Amino acid sequence: MKTVRLFLILAILMALAGLTTCAKNPVTGKRQLVLISENQEIAMGQASDPEVRKEYGVVEQQGIQTYIQTLGRKLAAASPRPNLEWHFTVVDSPVVNAFAVPGGYIYITRGILAYINNEAELATVLGHEVGHVAARHSVVQLSRMQLTQFGLGAGSVLSPTFGRVGGAANNATGVLFLRFGRDDERQADQLGVEYAARVGYDPREVSNFFEVLGRLSGSSDRETIPGFLSTHPDPGERVQNTRALAQKWIQQLNLQPTQMTVNRDGHLRNTDGMVFGDNPREGFVENARFYHPELQFQIDFPSGWNVENTKAAVIAIDSQRTAQMQLQLAEVPDGTTADAFQRQLADKGLRPQTSQQITIHGNRSVLAVYVLQAESGNVPVLAGFVEYRRKLYQIVGEATDFARMRNAMEDAIRSFDRITDQRILAAQPDRLVIYTARQGDTLNSIAARLNNPRVNADQLAVLNRMAIDQALTPGRLVKTVTKGY
């Protein structure tokens, strides 16, 4: 878990003081009003990158990272901004997505890599994100936002937001990962097809991926990282548009079939062993209890509450959305005591209304009530600080009807304990494993052998873009998902 830091990103924009300039767009060649120089754009990316890495995590398989970096830089070299210092990173998220921040920083999730079927598809997806940076979509949008704010007489670019006990900061993703308009997304699709074709990939392959993307976006209610799925044109429209664009670039570059790379097997082998879906090592709910095997703790949130686990924190919300709790590591040196941490908060002006030193399952702790100032008035907050394995955990709860919910939230704080179940401690993630088909294999028979309750034959069919009962040619590489826990 880690704390998400708010990023003033932008000098947002060079003490602005009315310094508006017109610059030529690298893609269109047209002049447009922008408030951010290229150096400032690069600085924004450099400042954002550590926060993205902390918030989403980075896939630790160096082979996958090298694969993406090599392909990404090849595509960036075909863009009109080849001299940017481009960076490509696979982030550790199961969400199907890819996104870019200004200055040449491109991120792709392991979730989307699992559904991409060959290197040609991957090239176009990465090319799409390169296109956003090449066309300076973020810079143009931020400039428009800035001008609008000044036109409205706004005093600051970023308005104050609610801060939590212990310095847990505000989520910057709404500013970092801007939701581009449909025109920008269509242009990025065009550029992705063009760059893939220019470096020798078959641009026709990407339309197949968009068909799968349509199936996923229609069947999944999971939250996505802002960007790839949220504001793009309808997947059906993208299938038709990218097919036409592919034919255009094949003709324009006079590409012959033998000149266009697809590389299905190479792509699959590069993703072999990758974590698939949620990683239970980083926390999961079972029988209404939240476990974190990596950090070796468990906690019981109030009955019936929905629990969402992120790398920044564990958040539990009641069904009426009138109360919530948040658990995270305090950003203090290992070994900091709960009492010392509370004194640090007091030195910063956060003094408790009530406070008591207690022991929670053998761990020294502090239980306190704070009253925070908000636009709506005073907000009472119940906070627990628990010393466990030389780290300090902060568990904060608030509710519209604080008096009614206080006991339930306190019970949750007091339930914090170490994990003793060896099965939970040993939990491992599901993994994408590339299997070589044998005579008589079908996805149905493979799914039966795997016996993974989280990935059935239907899901294998989507992963492999095949019918469940379709006979597999011996020797064909097939994506399977082995059971972790």
Could you report the per-residue pLDDT of 144-154, keeping only the tens digit for each?
Answer: 554 444 333 22
Contacts of the segment 29-33: beta carbons below 8 A, 24+ positions apart: 32/140, 33/143, 33/147
Determine the 3-state secondary structure of 203 from DSSP.
Answer: helix
Q: Which residues pair with 155 in a beta bridge?
A: none
d(CA 439, CA 448): 16
pLDDT at residue 128 tops 70: yes
pLDDT at residue 143 tops 90: no
Determine the 3-state secondary structure of 394 from DSSP.
Answer: strand
Lowest mean pLDDT among 2-6, 25-29, 78-82: 2-6
CB-based contact 402:410 (threshold 8 Å) = no
Residue 6 has what pLDDT?
32
pTM over 0.75: yes
Average confidence (pLDDT) over 273-300 = 96
Instruction: Classify the C-alpha dihedral 61-219-427-280 as positive or negative.
Output: positive
Instruction: Classify the C-alpha dihedral 242-247-252-258 as positive or negative.
Output: positive
Could you report the per-residue pLDDT of 337-393, keeping only the tens digit for each?
Answer: 999 999 999 998 899 999 999 999 999 999 999 998 877 778 999 999 999 999 999
Q: How far is CA 322 from CA 392, 400, 412, in A?
A: 27, 5, 16
Q: DSSP strand E in 184-317: where?
A: 284-286, 289-292, 297-299, 306-309, 314-317
Residue 178 has what pLDDT?
56
Average confidence (pLDDT) over 253-268 = 94
Q: How many CA atoms lie within 13 A of 435 on its CB side?
A: 24
Question: Percentage of the chain surpassing pLDDT 90?
Answer: 64
